[in-house]
Amino acid sequence: MALTTCPDCAGQVSDKAIACPACGYPMMQTKGKSAWPGMLGGVAGTYISAQAVVSIVLGSVMMFAFAAIMIAAIVS
């Protein structure tokens, strides 16, 4: 078992760990010394998924608000 350095918090993490136990940074994409592509992929993946979640939540809220306004208009 070898230890590697977490690119996010610089803590010592097992090279077999799925994620950094200290900060949760995903470690599976980093293979040996080619840590940069995996690190960039992890950051990009997190950013894109976060944006997608925000879009879905905002979309749902907007749909609900629009429906509520339409129902209120019809009822009144």
Q: Site residues (CB under 5 A) for Zn ion?
A: 6, 8-9, 11, 20, 22-23, 25
* Comparison of 22 and 62: residue with beta carbon closer to Zn ion: 22
Q: Of 14 and 60, which CB lies nearer to Zn ion in the complex structure?
A: 14
| CA 14 – CA 19 distance, rounded (Å) | 9
Instruction: Please give the Cα distance from 19 to 70 (Å, whole number).
Output: 46
Instruction: Determine the residue type at 17.
Output: A
Distance separating alpha carbons of residues 59 and 33, to the nearest angstrom: 41
Taking the complex as a whole, the smallest distance from the CB of residue 29 to Zn ion amounts, in Å, to: 14
Least distance between Zn ion and beta carbon 1 (Å): 17
